[in-house]
Amino acid sequence: MKTTEFTIELVRKVDESYPVVIGRDLAEAAVEMASRGDLAERRVAIITDSNVVDLYGTRLETAFAAAGRDAQTFVFPAGETSKTRAMKECLEDELIAAGYGRDSLVVALGGGVVTDLAGFVAATYARGLPYISLSTTLVGAADASVGGKTAVDVPAATNLIGAFHQPRAVLIDLDRWQTLTDDQIRDGLGETVKQACIADTEFFAALEEAFVARRLAVAEFVRDDALAELAARRNCQIKRDFVMSDVHEGNRRMGLNLGHTIGRALEAALGYTMTHGACIAIGLNLQARWSVEFGYMGAGEQERLERLLLAAGLPTEIPAGIEVEDIMAAMGHDKKAKGGEIRFVFQKGIGDLMVFDDGRFARPIGREEIRAFLGRQKGFAES
Ligand SMILES: NC(=O)c1ccc[n+]([C@@H]2O[C@H](COP(=O)([O-])OP(=O)(O)OC[C@H]3O[C@@H](n4cnc5c(N)ncnc54)[C@H](O)[C@@H]3O)[C@@H](O)[C@H]2O)c1
Ligand SMILES: [Zn+2]
Protein backbone atom coordinates (compact mmCIF):
# COMPACT_ATOMS: atom_id res chain seq x y z
CA MET A 1 0.00 0.00 0.00
CA LYS A 2 1.17 3.49 -0.76
CA THR A 3 2.06 5.60 2.26
CA THR A 4 0.03 8.74 2.65
CA GLU A 5 1.42 11.93 4.06
CA PHE A 6 -0.05 15.36 4.43
CA THR A 7 0.62 18.33 6.62
CA ILE A 8 -1.52 19.90 9.31
CA GLU A 9 -0.44 23.48 8.91
CA LEU A 10 -0.39 25.18 12.25
CA VAL A 11 1.93 28.09 12.61
CA ARG A 12 1.41 29.52 16.05
CA LYS A 13 1.64 33.21 16.67
CA VAL A 14 0.80 33.99 20.24
CA ASP A 15 0.99 37.09 22.34
CA GLU A 16 1.99 35.91 25.78
CA SER A 17 2.80 39.35 27.21
CA TYR A 18 1.84 40.00 30.80
CA PRO A 19 2.13 42.77 33.37
CA VAL A 20 4.35 42.69 36.45
CA VAL A 21 3.04 44.73 39.39
CA ILE A 22 5.27 45.65 42.33
CA GLY A 23 3.85 47.22 45.48
CA ARG A 24 2.60 46.72 48.98
CA ASP A 25 -0.52 44.84 50.04
CA LEU A 26 -1.54 43.72 46.56
CA ALA A 27 -4.59 41.57 47.34
CA GLU A 28 -7.01 43.99 45.66
CA ALA A 29 -4.57 44.46 42.78
CA ALA A 30 -4.59 40.67 42.29
CA VAL A 31 -8.40 40.68 42.19
CA GLU A 32 -8.29 43.50 39.65
CA MET A 33 -5.85 41.55 37.48
CA ALA A 34 -8.17 38.55 37.73
CA SER A 35 -11.02 40.64 36.36
CA ARG A 36 -9.26 41.68 33.16
CA GLY A 37 -10.51 40.41 29.80
CA ASP A 38 -11.48 36.75 29.64
CA LEU A 39 -10.41 36.17 33.25
CA ALA A 40 -13.36 38.07 34.71
CA GLU A 41 -15.92 35.26 34.58
CA ARG A 42 -13.64 32.48 35.73
CA ARG A 43 -13.92 30.52 38.93
CA VAL A 44 -10.80 31.12 40.99
CA ALA A 45 -8.62 28.41 42.54
CA ILE A 46 -6.05 29.90 44.91
CA ILE A 47 -3.18 27.46 45.33
CA THR A 48 -0.82 28.10 48.24
CA ASP A 49 1.29 26.32 50.85
CA SER A 50 0.74 25.58 54.52
CA ASN A 51 2.88 28.53 55.70
CA VAL A 52 1.62 31.21 53.36
CA VAL A 53 -2.02 30.29 53.91
CA ASP A 54 -1.69 31.31 57.56
CA LEU A 55 0.10 34.54 56.74
CA TYR A 56 -2.01 35.74 53.86
CA GLY A 57 -4.51 33.16 52.60
CA THR A 58 -7.59 34.62 54.26
CA ARG A 59 -6.69 38.14 53.16
CA LEU A 60 -6.65 37.10 49.50
CA GLU A 61 -9.75 34.90 49.67
CA THR A 62 -11.64 37.74 51.38
CA ALA A 63 -10.56 40.20 48.69
CA PHE A 64 -11.96 37.89 46.00
CA ALA A 65 -15.17 37.35 47.99
CA ALA A 66 -15.60 41.14 48.43
CA ALA A 67 -15.48 41.46 44.65
CA GLY A 68 -18.19 38.82 44.34
CA ARG A 69 -15.82 36.21 42.92
CA ASP A 70 -16.13 32.52 43.62
CA ALA A 71 -12.71 31.64 45.04
CA GLN A 72 -11.60 28.59 46.96
CA THR A 73 -8.15 27.96 48.48
CA PHE A 74 -6.16 24.75 48.00
CA VAL A 75 -3.27 24.18 50.37
CA PHE A 76 -0.31 21.80 50.17
CA PRO A 77 2.48 21.25 52.75
CA ALA A 78 5.18 23.94 52.45
CA GLY A 79 8.61 23.06 51.12
CA GLU A 80 10.55 21.76 48.16
CA THR A 81 9.56 18.16 49.02
CA SER A 82 6.03 19.04 47.86
CA LYS A 83 7.19 19.92 44.35
CA THR A 84 6.41 16.45 43.02
CA ARG A 85 4.23 14.71 40.46
CA ALA A 86 2.33 13.13 43.37
CA MET A 87 1.48 16.54 44.85
CA LYS A 88 0.45 17.83 41.43
CA GLU A 89 -1.91 14.86 41.09
CA CYS A 90 -3.24 15.45 44.58
CA LEU A 91 -4.06 19.10 43.79
CA GLU A 92 -5.64 18.09 40.49
CA ASP A 93 -7.85 15.57 42.26
CA GLU A 94 -8.93 18.25 44.73
CA LEU A 95 -9.78 20.61 41.88
CA ILE A 96 -11.75 17.87 40.14
CA ALA A 97 -13.63 17.03 43.34
CA ALA A 98 -14.49 20.71 43.80
CA GLY A 99 -15.88 20.81 40.27
CA TYR A 100 -13.29 23.10 38.67
CA GLY A 101 -13.50 22.99 34.88
CA ARG A 102 -12.09 24.71 31.82
CA ASP A 103 -13.54 28.02 32.96
CA SER A 104 -11.16 28.30 35.91
CA LEU A 105 -8.32 30.62 36.84
CA VAL A 106 -5.44 29.53 39.05
CA VAL A 107 -3.93 32.07 41.43
CA ALA A 108 -0.56 30.91 42.77
CA LEU A 109 0.07 32.53 46.14
CA GLY A 110 3.53 31.95 47.58
CA GLY A 111 7.20 31.50 46.83
CA GLY A 112 8.88 29.67 43.99
CA VAL A 113 7.65 26.25 45.05
CA VAL A 114 4.05 27.43 44.84
CA THR A 115 4.42 29.28 41.55
CA ASP A 116 6.29 26.35 39.95
CA LEU A 117 3.81 23.73 41.15
CA ALA A 118 0.58 25.73 40.74
CA GLY A 119 1.84 26.99 37.36
CA PHE A 120 2.41 23.40 36.23
CA VAL A 121 -1.04 22.37 37.48
CA ALA A 122 -2.43 25.26 35.43
CA ALA A 123 -0.38 24.21 32.40
CA THR A 124 -2.08 20.84 32.07
CA TYR A 125 -5.42 21.07 33.90
CA ALA A 126 -8.23 20.91 31.31
CA ARG A 127 -5.42 21.22 28.70
CA GLY A 128 -4.28 24.50 30.16
CA LEU A 129 -5.74 27.16 32.43
CA PRO A 130 -4.62 30.76 32.80
CA TYR A 131 -2.80 31.58 36.04
CA ILE A 132 -1.69 34.62 37.99
CA SER A 133 1.32 34.55 40.32
CA LEU A 134 1.24 36.48 43.57
CA SER A 135 4.84 36.10 44.65
CA THR A 136 5.66 36.29 48.37
CA THR A 137 9.45 35.72 48.52
CA LEU A 138 12.55 37.53 47.32
CA VAL A 139 13.51 34.35 45.44
CA GLY A 140 10.18 34.69 43.67
CA ALA A 141 10.96 38.26 42.66
CA ALA A 142 14.57 37.52 41.76
CA ASP A 143 13.93 34.49 39.66
CA ALA A 144 10.89 32.25 39.99
CA SER A 145 7.97 34.40 38.90
CA VAL A 146 9.07 35.80 35.53
CA GLY A 147 9.96 33.49 32.67
CA GLY A 148 7.14 30.99 32.37
CA LYS A 149 9.03 27.94 33.55
CA THR A 150 6.87 25.63 35.64
CA ALA A 151 7.96 22.25 36.95
CA VAL A 152 8.16 19.58 39.59
CA ASP A 153 11.20 17.66 40.85
CA VAL A 154 11.88 13.95 40.38
CA PRO A 155 14.57 11.92 42.17
CA ALA A 156 16.83 12.12 39.09
CA ALA A 157 16.84 15.92 38.95
CA THR A 158 15.09 19.07 40.11
CA ASN A 159 12.60 20.72 37.74
CA LEU A 160 12.89 17.87 35.22
CA ILE A 161 9.18 17.46 34.50
CA GLY A 162 7.42 20.67 33.57
CA ALA A 163 6.18 23.03 30.94
CA PHE A 164 6.69 26.52 29.67
CA HIS A 165 3.45 28.23 30.67
CA GLN A 166 3.46 32.00 30.95
CA PRO A 167 1.42 33.60 33.72
CA ARG A 168 -1.25 36.20 32.84
CA ALA A 169 0.11 38.55 35.48
CA VAL A 170 2.80 38.60 38.16
CA LEU A 171 2.37 40.53 41.38
CA ILE A 172 5.28 41.07 43.76
CA ASP A 173 3.90 42.00 47.15
CA LEU A 174 6.71 43.69 49.11
CA ASP A 175 4.70 43.54 52.35
CA ARG A 176 5.08 39.78 52.28
CA TRP A 177 8.87 40.09 52.60
CA GLN A 178 8.47 41.27 56.23
CA THR A 179 7.88 37.72 57.47
CA LEU A 180 10.80 36.14 55.61
CA THR A 181 13.70 34.92 57.76
CA ASP A 182 17.19 36.36 57.19
CA ASP A 183 18.23 33.13 55.47
CA GLN A 184 15.23 33.29 53.14
CA ILE A 185 16.14 36.88 52.26
CA ARG A 186 19.78 35.93 51.69
CA ASP A 187 18.63 33.07 49.47
CA GLY A 188 17.04 35.69 47.21
CA LEU A 189 19.99 38.06 47.53
CA GLY A 190 22.36 35.50 45.97
CA GLU A 191 20.33 35.60 42.78
CA THR A 192 19.83 39.37 43.10
CA VAL A 193 23.59 40.04 43.14
CA LYS A 194 23.89 37.74 40.13
CA GLN A 195 21.30 39.74 38.17
CA ALA A 196 23.25 42.94 38.92
CA CYS A 197 26.50 41.26 37.84
CA ILE A 198 25.14 40.20 34.48
CA ALA A 199 23.35 43.37 33.49
CA ASP A 200 23.36 46.43 35.72
CA THR A 201 26.34 48.30 37.18
CA GLU A 202 24.09 50.89 38.87
CA PHE A 203 21.98 48.21 40.55
CA PHE A 204 25.21 46.62 41.78
CA ALA A 205 26.37 50.00 43.12
CA ALA A 206 23.03 50.48 44.93
CA LEU A 207 23.45 47.08 46.60
CA GLU A 208 27.02 48.01 47.56
CA GLU A 209 25.79 51.30 48.99
CA ALA A 210 23.20 49.50 51.12
CA PHE A 211 25.27 46.58 52.38
CA VAL A 212 28.90 47.69 52.22
CA ALA A 213 28.68 51.46 52.83
CA ARG A 214 25.59 51.62 55.10
CA ARG A 215 26.01 48.13 56.57
CA LEU A 216 22.27 47.48 56.37
CA ALA A 217 21.02 44.23 57.84
CA VAL A 218 19.15 42.10 55.30
CA ALA A 219 15.84 42.60 57.16
CA GLU A 220 16.31 46.38 56.98
CA PHE A 221 17.00 46.08 53.28
CA VAL A 222 13.62 44.46 52.54
CA ARG A 223 11.79 46.93 54.80
CA ASP A 224 13.23 49.91 52.94
CA ASP A 225 10.62 51.02 50.38
CA ALA A 226 13.07 52.29 47.78
CA LEU A 227 15.51 49.38 48.05
CA ALA A 228 12.81 46.70 48.08
CA GLU A 229 11.13 48.25 45.04
CA LEU A 230 14.47 48.56 43.25
CA ALA A 231 15.38 44.94 43.98
CA ALA A 232 12.00 43.61 42.81
CA ARG A 233 11.93 45.81 39.71
CA ARG A 234 15.49 45.32 38.48
CA ASN A 235 15.41 41.58 39.19
CA CYS A 236 12.23 41.13 37.15
CA GLN A 237 13.32 43.50 34.39
CA ILE A 238 16.73 41.90 33.95
CA LYS A 239 15.16 38.46 33.87
CA ARG A 240 12.59 39.78 31.36
CA ASP A 241 15.32 41.19 29.10
CA PHE A 242 17.12 37.85 28.96
CA VAL A 243 13.94 35.80 28.61
CA MET A 244 12.41 38.03 25.93
CA SER A 245 15.41 37.63 23.70
CA ASP A 246 15.54 33.87 24.20
CA VAL A 247 12.38 32.30 25.61
CA HIS A 248 13.49 28.67 25.44
CA GLU A 249 17.07 28.88 26.65
CA GLY A 250 18.93 28.64 23.37
CA ASN A 251 21.79 30.98 24.11
CA ARG A 252 21.28 34.37 25.76
CA ARG A 253 19.07 32.99 28.51
CA MET A 254 22.20 31.04 29.49
CA GLY A 255 23.51 34.34 30.87
CA LEU A 256 21.09 33.95 33.77
CA ASN A 257 23.19 30.95 34.76
CA LEU A 258 26.21 33.01 35.78
CA GLY A 259 27.76 31.36 38.84
CA HIS A 260 25.41 28.42 38.47
CA THR A 261 27.75 25.85 36.91
CA ILE A 262 29.81 25.71 40.09
CA GLY A 263 26.95 26.87 42.35
CA ARG A 264 24.48 24.22 41.28
CA ALA A 265 27.10 21.45 41.43
CA LEU A 266 28.00 22.56 44.95
CA GLU A 267 24.32 22.58 45.94
CA ALA A 268 23.98 18.96 44.79
CA ALA A 269 27.30 17.93 46.36
CA LEU A 270 26.04 19.33 49.67
CA GLY A 271 22.85 17.29 49.34
CA TYR A 272 20.75 20.49 49.14
CA THR A 273 21.59 21.41 52.73
CA MET A 274 22.66 24.94 51.76
CA THR A 275 20.22 27.35 50.10
CA HIS A 276 20.40 27.81 46.35
CA GLY A 277 21.21 31.51 46.78
CA ALA A 278 24.13 30.82 49.13
CA CYS A 279 25.56 28.24 46.70
CA ILE A 280 25.16 30.73 43.84
CA ALA A 281 27.04 33.34 45.87
CA ILE A 282 29.99 30.95 46.14
CA GLY A 283 29.71 30.07 42.46
CA LEU A 284 29.62 33.76 41.51
CA ASN A 285 32.70 34.56 43.55
CA LEU A 286 34.69 31.60 42.25
CA GLN A 287 33.69 32.20 38.65
CA ALA A 288 34.60 35.88 39.06
CA ARG A 289 38.06 34.82 40.27
CA TRP A 290 38.32 32.65 37.21
CA SER A 291 37.22 35.61 35.07
CA VAL A 292 40.16 37.55 36.51
CA GLU A 293 42.53 34.71 35.61
CA PHE A 294 41.18 34.73 32.04
CA GLY A 295 41.48 38.52 31.88
CA TYR A 296 37.69 39.06 31.52
CA MET A 297 37.44 41.25 34.61
CA GLY A 298 39.81 43.15 36.85
CA ALA A 299 40.93 41.89 40.26
CA GLY A 300 39.40 45.01 41.86
CA GLU A 301 35.99 44.15 40.42
CA GLN A 302 36.13 40.61 41.81
CA GLU A 303 37.08 42.08 45.19
CA ARG A 304 34.03 44.39 45.08
CA LEU A 305 31.81 41.38 44.39
CA GLU A 306 33.32 39.38 47.25
CA ARG A 307 32.96 42.33 49.63
CA LEU A 308 29.29 42.79 48.68
CA LEU A 309 28.46 39.11 49.14
CA LEU A 310 30.16 39.02 52.53
CA ALA A 311 28.45 42.25 53.65
CA ALA A 312 25.08 40.69 52.78
CA GLY A 313 26.01 37.69 54.92
CA LEU A 314 26.50 35.32 52.01
CA PRO A 315 29.30 32.72 51.79
CA THR A 316 32.06 33.13 49.21
CA GLU A 317 34.20 29.99 49.61
CA ILE A 318 33.51 26.28 49.25
CA PRO A 319 32.65 24.94 52.71
CA ALA A 320 34.85 22.46 54.55
CA GLY A 321 34.16 18.80 53.96
CA ILE A 322 33.57 19.15 50.24
CA GLU A 323 36.19 17.69 47.90
CA VAL A 324 37.01 18.79 44.36
CA GLU A 325 35.81 15.41 43.12
CA ASP A 326 32.39 15.85 44.80
CA ILE A 327 31.86 18.99 42.76
CA MET A 328 33.25 17.42 39.59
CA ALA A 329 30.87 14.47 39.94
CA ALA A 330 27.86 16.73 40.53
CA MET A 331 28.81 18.92 37.57
CA GLY A 332 28.71 15.95 35.22
CA HIS A 333 25.12 15.27 36.22
CA ASP A 334 23.88 18.79 35.63
CA LYS A 335 21.06 18.55 33.11
CA LYS A 336 22.35 21.72 31.51
CA ALA A 337 25.74 20.13 30.73
CA LYS A 338 25.51 19.66 26.98
CA GLY A 339 27.09 16.68 25.22
CA GLY A 340 29.55 16.04 28.06
CA GLU A 341 31.01 19.52 27.72
CA ILE A 342 30.81 21.76 30.73
CA ARG A 343 29.91 25.29 29.78
CA PHE A 344 30.50 28.39 31.87
CA VAL A 345 29.11 31.88 31.64
CA PHE A 346 31.60 34.59 32.60
CA GLN A 347 31.00 38.16 33.56
CA LYS A 348 32.88 40.92 31.82
CA GLY A 349 33.58 43.31 34.64
CA ILE A 350 30.49 44.16 36.68
CA GLY A 351 27.19 44.51 34.85
CA ASP A 352 28.09 42.76 31.61
CA LEU A 353 28.74 39.31 30.22
CA MET A 354 31.45 37.87 28.01
CA VAL A 355 30.35 36.96 24.52
CA PHE A 356 32.64 34.42 22.92
CA ASP A 357 33.85 34.24 19.30
CA ASP A 358 30.88 32.36 17.95
CA GLY A 359 28.37 34.68 19.66
CA ARG A 360 27.80 32.22 22.50
CA PHE A 361 27.25 33.36 26.08
CA ALA A 362 28.85 30.24 27.52
CA ARG A 363 32.20 28.68 26.76
CA PRO A 364 33.07 25.02 27.21
CA ILE A 365 35.94 24.13 29.52
CA GLY A 366 37.61 20.74 29.81
CA ARG A 367 37.28 18.76 33.01
CA GLU A 368 41.02 18.85 33.77
CA GLU A 369 41.09 22.63 33.60
CA ILE A 370 38.04 22.85 35.91
CA ARG A 371 39.61 20.40 38.34
CA ALA A 372 42.83 22.43 38.42
CA PHE A 373 40.94 25.69 38.98
CA LEU A 374 38.89 24.27 41.84
CA GLY A 375 42.03 22.78 43.37
CA ARG A 376 43.54 26.26 43.59
CA GLN A 377 40.65 27.60 45.70
CA LYS A 378 40.84 28.22 49.42
CA GLY A 379 40.23 25.09 51.41
CA PHE A 380 41.48 22.85 48.62
CA ALA A 381 44.89 24.37 47.98
CA GLU A 382 46.55 22.81 51.02
CA SER A 383 44.99 19.34 50.67
N1 LIG B 1 10.46 28.84 37.58
C2 LIG B 1 11.62 29.40 37.69
O3 LIG B 1 12.13 30.02 36.77
C4 LIG B 1 12.34 29.31 38.99
C5 LIG B 1 13.46 30.10 39.22
C6 LIG B 1 14.09 30.05 40.46
C7 LIG B 1 13.63 29.20 41.43
N8 LIG B 1 12.54 28.42 41.17
C9 LIG B 1 12.05 27.50 42.20
O10 LIG B 1 11.66 28.25 43.33
C11 LIG B 1 11.78 27.45 44.49
C12 LIG B 1 12.46 28.24 45.57
O13 LIG B 1 11.71 29.42 45.80
P14 LIG B 1 11.33 29.90 47.26
O15 LIG B 1 12.57 30.02 48.07
O16 LIG B 1 10.46 31.07 47.12
O17 LIG B 1 10.58 28.60 47.78
P18 LIG B 1 9.29 28.37 48.68
O19 LIG B 1 8.07 28.67 47.91
O20 LIG B 1 9.41 27.00 49.21
O21 LIG B 1 9.45 29.40 49.88
C22 LIG B 1 10.43 29.19 50.88
C23 LIG B 1 9.79 29.07 52.25
O24 LIG B 1 9.26 30.33 52.62
C25 LIG B 1 7.90 30.22 52.99
N26 LIG B 1 7.29 31.48 52.65
C27 LIG B 1 6.83 31.90 51.44
N28 LIG B 1 6.45 33.17 51.49
C29 LIG B 1 6.67 33.58 52.76
C30 LIG B 1 6.48 34.82 53.43
N31 LIG B 1 6.03 35.88 52.78
N32 LIG B 1 6.82 34.90 54.74
C33 LIG B 1 7.34 33.82 55.38
N34 LIG B 1 7.54 32.64 54.79
C35 LIG B 1 7.22 32.52 53.51
C36 LIG B 1 7.40 29.03 52.27
O37 LIG B 1 6.27 28.47 52.87
C38 LIG B 1 8.61 28.11 52.32
O39 LIG B 1 8.64 27.43 53.54
C40 LIG B 1 12.54 26.21 44.07
O41 LIG B 1 11.66 25.14 43.95
C42 LIG B 1 13.09 26.57 42.71
O43 LIG B 1 13.25 25.46 41.86
C44 LIG B 1 11.90 28.47 39.99
ZN1 LIG C 1 19.45 30.23 40.41
* 68-100 pLDDT per residue, tens: 999 999 999 999 999 999 999 999 999 999 999
Calculate mean pLDDT across residues 144-156. Answer: 95
Residue 244: the pLDDT is 81
- Which band of pLDDT confidence, cut at 50, 70 and 90, is reported for residue 339? low
- Range name among 80-84, 153-157, 212-216 with the lowest pLDDT average: 153-157
Q: Do 172 and 188 belong to one domain?
A: no
pLDDT value at 21 more than 80: yes
Cα–Cα distance, 356 to 211 (Å, whole number)? 33
Q: Is residue 225 part of a domain?
A: yes
Task: Specify whether the CB–CB gap between 141 and 172 falls below 8 A.
Answer: yes
Cα–Cα distance, 279 to 261 (Å, whole number)? 10
Q: Is residue 11 part of a domain?
A: no
Q: Do 121 and 210 belong to one domain?
A: no
Residue 243: the pLDDT is 84
Shortest-distance ligand to the CA of residue 259: 2
Cα–Cα distance, 306 to 304 (Å, whole number)? 6
pLDDT value at 336 more than 80: no
Q: Is 231 helix (H, G, I), strand (E, B) or coil?
A: helix
Q: What's the whole-number average pLDDT of the chain?
A: 94
**Rounded percentage of the chain residues whose pLDDT exceeds 70:** 96
Give the predicted TM-score (pTM) of the model.
0.94
Q: Is residue 62 part of a domain?
A: yes
Q: Is residue 382 part of a domain?
A: no
Distance 279 CA to ligand 1 centre (A): 16
Q: Is residue 72 part of a domain?
A: yes
Calculate mean pLDDT across residues 236-261. Answer: 84
Q: Do 244 and 365 belong to one domain?
A: yes
Domain that holds residue 230: 182-375
Task: Specify whether the CB–CB gap between 76 and 90 falls below 8 A.
Answer: yes
Calculate mean pLDDT across residues 41-65. Answer: 96
Q: Is residue 8 part of a domain?
A: no
Q: Do 279 and 258 belong to one domain?
A: yes
Residue 140 CA, closest ligand 1 atom number: 16
Ligand 1: residues with CB < 6 A are 49, 51-52, 55, 78-80, 83, 110-114, 116, 136-137, 139-140, 143-144, 147, 149, 158-159, 176, 179-180, 184, 187
How many domains are contained in the chain? 2
Residue 359: the pLDDT is 85
- Range name among 123-127, 149-153, 279-283, 377-381 with the lowest pLDDT average: 377-381
Residue 357's CATH number = 1.20.1090.10
pLDDT value at 337 more than 80: no
Cα–Cα distance, 143 to 157 (Å, whole number)? 19
Task: Specify whether the CB–CB gap between 179 and 128 falls below 8 A.
Answer: no
> Domain boundary residue among 179, 214, 232?
179
Higher pLDDT, 11 or 180: 180
Residue 152's CATH number = 3.40.50.1970
Residue 179: the pLDDT is 97
Distance 252 CA to ligand 1 centre (A): 25
Residue 57: the pLDDT is 87
